[in-house]
Every structure is written in structure tokens, then in C-alpha cells.
Amino acid sequence: MSSTSTQARRDRLRLLRLLRQAPRPLVALSILIQLILGAAPVAFMVFSSAGVGKVGAAAAGGTSSAAWHHLELLIVLAAATLVVGQVLAPVQQLIGWSLKYRIDVDTYRRLMAANYAAPGIAVLERPQVRAALDEVIADMRRTWVSLGGAAAAVLTLIARYTAFLGALAVVAVELGPVAALAVGAGGMVLRVTHRRGATAYSTAIVDTIQLRRRHGFLANQGLSPAIGKEARVFGFGPWFADRGSDEGLGYFRMLWKVRSSTFITPFVIAATVTALGTATALAQLAWPRFGGGLAAGTTALVAQAVLAVAGIGSSFDESDYPIAYGITSMRHLEQVEAAVAEARAATTNGMGTGTATPPVRPVRHSIRFEDVTFTYPGADEPVLSGLTLELTAGTSLAVVGVNGAGKTTLIKLLCRFYEPDSGRILADGLDVAALDAARWQRQIAATFQDYGRYPLSAADNIGFGAVELVGDRAAVDRAATRAGAADYLSTLPEGLETTLSRDFKGGTDLSGGQWQRVALARAMLAVEGGASVLILDEPTASLDIRAEADFIEGFLELTRGTTTIVVSHRFATVRRADRIVVLDGGRLVEDGSHDELMALGGRYAEMFTVQAARFAQPAAAGGSDGERD
């Protein structure tokens, strides 16, 4: 018991510490109001009971007697304390909202920091970290569970305990310590049961996080327009709905079990104890032999006080669950922050020497993979095993291979999103692991297969290639033109200012090919922003014919002289590279120019021929004037 309650107390204190994010006067004001809100009911019972005590005397003296005037004063005081409590409640709620908001803004900042701080991405891809992060975000979006709400809720305990202690004092003074102890302990037993129930329940919630995520995922996907086309063509909407329900009910049944074991027996026992304690105190009040049989006013006061003391055993709707959930939310956030901090430390310590990192310079000579081996966390087989590969600066390299050959992994390692298990990656002879990861990453411009589709303007979507050029309209225009995106973007309702998401009013969505060109424009902008290595991962996958041809003849020309790595299944794109490597099983199996590899008649030649067969004979409209330069 002590360890869990110590832990609970410590967690509450940590929640309270969050209040440091809020302005001090606001916190002080909140505490003051809570004290008043707690004292008001006690004052009310004191004044009103004193009034009850005066009724007899005033009745005897009539409405012009001093006793009546005294009684009038007591009534006014009692009414005033009640009014103060009632009027302050909305004010307190407003302050509570303010506190919650301030802290939640800070929580949001912490979330962003965690999201963006780690230079690698492995940490954010870890299932537990992702799950924890998603939970905190989900909690934030629910209006009633948040760190801020929980911290504000801790303050409301002040009012509860002030009222409790005040009433307890009244009982102790008027009826003695035994009665006070009986009812006080009785109430506290129930209180602790409430609090423990909330803690146990929120723990159960944390333990079933993955099931809940799955349940939420299915509900979310089920309601999303993204599955609309296939749901209708295949008619699987109702099936999907039922699958979601089945899994949801499975999850909730587990939860219901936990709930009935935590919330029935302990509560029945606690309620009995409380009833006995309260009955003991009240019986003593009624029994002259045990100190009771007091005057009417005192009886009224003590009876009300006993009830107020027992009231500590009520469920605190404003704080029990907000605090319990807030604590799980806080733990999740701290878990994410710790993981990110650890990853960050690991990355910066990777340099070995501990001295200042060498300055990052544009790549001028070469990039070299030296005997690089890499296995994804949790995987059995390495994706890359002993890969050695050198790329001369200012030339282009195409990487081909079947799906899963390790092409994208190679890129991720170069970007230092992951660190190799063994081997080194050298840029101009310098181990990139020794460089400041964030600075090195700025040297690289890239379009990935799953490039971002930001629910922002087209200009921002392109500007996001390089942070320095986000607002530089001329640079954005240039990049859009180079990537062949300018024409259709200018036809959008608000041109480049149009939001590229139909989820928002006035927004529009682009087709896959149009998006891809936006992503290319983004990479162009990054090159303009100073990146010296350009990575194109499947840059033409969803481009149409003209766009691909434009890309090959335009974009690739424009980027000539930039150190470029292209991963593609499209051999019209691949063959334009100065050098082509074929990856298989995590190793380099072929290496050479297009002509060399064709002459070799190996894997590359085979793959190329499959696609090119159709074009083998010159078409009626043209000859073999494919070379334009």
C-alpha cells in the first residue's frame, strides 16, 4: 500500500510542478479561490446553525428583540457565504481553464520537441514510443484528459480538503476526538478506495494501450473517405464495420473484467466502513450519555459537519479521473522524452572523440560506403551486409534492385536516420558519424516515396524543402517551374496560396503525379538552399508519360553536376545515370554504366530489356534520335 500511495503522491507532486508553466499570480489566485470555496460551506454551516440556535430566543423576544437582530445578521452571513461559493465557482472554472490551457500549450511544445528533436528516426519508429506519443496526442485532443487539466484538477483538491478539515475540526471540538476519528477515518477509507480505483483503472488503460490503439485505428479507418472507393467496389463496408465491432468488444470485455474486480467488492466494503463510522458519530450526537444531546443549534451544526466530513468519501468528478489519466499521459510523455533524449545522446556520442564536431562542408570529392552492414531493429536478417560503394561528387548514381533489396536503407543510412551496425560512410574522407547529424542532414536534398503532403499552401509545400527559403516566393516559383509543377499550380483557385488538402475549406487535392512534382520541387528548393547531395527515391513512380519525359530531359539535366543518387524501377530514368549499381541481398552485384551493364548481360540487362522491349523498334513517328545532348 505504502509504495503505491507514495508513487501516487510523487506523481501528483510532479503534476503540480507543471503549474510552474502558468503565471504565478494566476496560480496564487486559484489557490486562494479554492481555499475560499473550501471554507465557504464550513462557514455556512457555522452561521446557519448558530441561527438555528437563536430561533428559540428570538421567538421568545419577538421580531424587535436583540436576539432577532442577531439572528438576522446570522442569516445574512450564511446566505453571503453561500453566494460567495456559488459566484466563485464559474470564476474558478475560468481560471482552471486558463491554467489547463497554459500547461497544455507547453505540453504541445514538449510533444513537438520530442517529435522533431531526435536526429534519427529509429527511436520514433519504435512501437512503444510511437504508441506512447500517439496516446499523449489523443489525450490532448480529448478535452477532458490532459496534463494541464490534471494539474488544474490537483488544485481543486484544496477546496475538498479545506472543507474536510474544517468540518472535522467542528466535530472534534463539539463531539470529541473519537467521533471525529470514526467519521474521518470512515470517509477517508472510501476516499482512498476511489483514488485507488481511478489509479488501477488508468493503469489497466495503459496496459491495454495497443488494443485500444487498434480499436481506434479501425474506427478511424472505417470512417475515413480513404477507404471509400474500395469499400464500395468490393462492398466491404459492412464487413469492415463488423470486424471493428468484434475487435472493439473483445477489448472492452477485457476492460470490463478489470473494472468489476476493482470497483465492486472494495467499494462495498469501504462503503460499509464509512456508513459505520458516520453512524457511530451521529449516534453519539443523539446520545446524551456519550456527550450528545446538545442544544438544537449545536446538533444541527455537528450533524452537518459529520456529513461534510464523510463527504470526503464522495467521488471527485473534477479530479479523480482527470488526475489519474493525466498521470498516465504524463508518464507517456516522459517515456517519449526519455527515449528521444537517449537517442540524441547516442547519436552525438557516436563521434567517439568527444571533441567538437568537424564543420560540415558541401561534398566536393566523394561519398564512400565502406563495408556497411545494417539490420533493422527487431529484424533477423541484415538488409545490407558488407556493402562497399563509392560515388564521385558531381556525378549521378542509380541504384536498382528488386523490392526489398536495401535501396532505401542505403539512403536512410547516408542521411543518418539510422546508424550502421558496422562499417563507415565517408564524405570527402570524413566519417559522417563524426559530424553533427542535423548539420549533415542539411547537406542532403531528397524526395522519398512517401513524401509529405502537408495540409498547407502549395507555396509552403514547396518551401518546406529548405527552411531558409520557406517564404522566398521567387525561389519557390523557380523550384516549381523546374519540377514542372508551376503550370497546374498556377491554375489552382488561389494559385500557390491554395491549401493542398480537401480537408480544409478552400483546399484542393492534387493527383499522385501532381503531388510528386510538388515533392520534386521541394527537393529542387533544397538544392537551391545549399544541399550538395540530391536523393531521388522513385521520383517518377506516379508521373505520367510527359512528366516523366520532362523529368528525364529537364529535371535530370537541371541537376547535372549535383551529386545525385536515384532509386528507380523505371529504366528510362535509371539509364541516364552516370553509373548504375544493382543491389541484391544487401550486396552490390553489378556496377557500371548503362552500356557496360548491358554488355555484361546480367541482372541489369535482363530488367532493362523487360521494359524496353516495346520500344526496340523505332516507332513510325520517330527515329533513334533519343540523344539530345
Q: Which is nearer to another protein, 14 or 392 (CB)?
A: 392
Minimal distance in Å, beta carbon 568 to another protein? 10
Between CA 209 and CA 129 the distance in angstroms is: 12
Minimal distance in Å, beta carbon 370 to another protein? 23
Q: Which is nearer to another protein, 4 or 220 (CB)?
A: 220
CA quadruple 457, 462, 468, 472: dihedral sign: negative
Minimal distance in Å, beta carbon 504 to another protein? 6
Strand arrangement of the beta sheet that strand 384-392 belongs to: 384-392, 366-374, 422-427, 430-431
Between CA 413 and CA 423 the distance in angstroms is: 11
Q: Which is nearer to another protein, 315 or 366 (CB)?
A: 315
Contacts of 173 (CB under 8 A, 6+ apart): none
Which is nearest to 483 in space by CA: 568, 557, 537, 411?
557
Are 43 and 13 in contact by the 8 Å Cβ rule? The answer is no
In the 8-state DSSP scheme, what is residue 351? T
Q: Which is nearer to another protein, 13 or 361 (CB)?
A: 361
Mark out the alpha helices in 264-295 (DSSP H runs): 265-286
Minimal distance in Å, beta carbon 123 to another protein? 11
Are 501 and 225 in contact by the 8 Å Cβ rule? The answer is no
Contacts of 544 (CB under 8 A, 6+ apart): 513
Q: Which is nearer to another protein, 284 or 385 (CB)?
A: 284
DSSP β-ladder status, 444-447 and 579-584: unpaired
Q: Which is nearer to another protein, 326 or 513 (CB)?
A: 513
In sequence order, the β-bridge partners of residue 374 are 384
In sequence order, the β-bridge partners of residue 567 are 399, 537
Minimal distance in Å, beta carbon 107 to another protein? 10
Cell 524543402 belongs to 465
Minimal distance in Å, beta carbon 355 to another protein? 24
Q: At what angle do helices 209-223 and 237-263 cross, to 10 degrees?
A: 150
Amino acid 563 reads T
Q: Which is nearer to another protein, 14 or 98 (CB)?
A: 98
Minimal distance in Å, beta carbon 224 to another protein? 9
Contacts of 498 (CB under 8 A, 6+ apart): 457, 458, 489, 492, 506, 507, 508
Three-state DSSP class for residue 581? strand
Are 202 and 212 in contact by the 8 Å Cβ rule? The answer is no
Q: At what angle do helices 177-207 and 320-349 cross, to 10 degrees?
A: 50
In sequence order, the β-bridge partners of residue 384 are 374
In sequence order, the β-bridge partners of residue 387 are 372
Q: Which is nearer to another protein, 93 or 388 (CB)?
A: 93
Q: Which is nearer to another protein, 2 or 621 (CB)?
A: 621
Q: Which is nearer to another protein, 244 or 322 (CB)?
A: 244
Q: Which is nearer to another protein, 7 or 593 (CB)?
A: 593
Strand arrangement of the beta sheet that strand 563-567 belongs to: 444-447, 533-537, 563-567, 396-400, 579-584, 587-592
Between CA 313 and CA 194 the distance in angstroms is: 8
CA quadruple 323, 329, 335, 336: dihedral sign: negative
Q: Which is nearer to another protein, 14 or 73 (CB)?
A: 73
Minimal distance in Å, beta carbon 541 to another protein? 4
Minimal distance in Å, beta carbon 155 to another protein? 17
Minimal distance in Å, beta carbon 172 to another protein? 18
Minimal distance in Å, beta carbon 114 to another protein? 10
Minimal distance in Å, beta carbon 3 to another protein? 25
Q: Which is nearer to another protein, 120 or 326 (CB)?
A: 120
Between CA 362 and CA 351 the distance in angstroms is: 19
Q: At what angle do helices 24-61 and 66-117 cross, to 10 degrees?
A: 160
Over its C-alpha atoms, the chain yields an Rg (Å, rounded) of 35
Minimal distance in Å, beta carbon 10 to another protein? 26
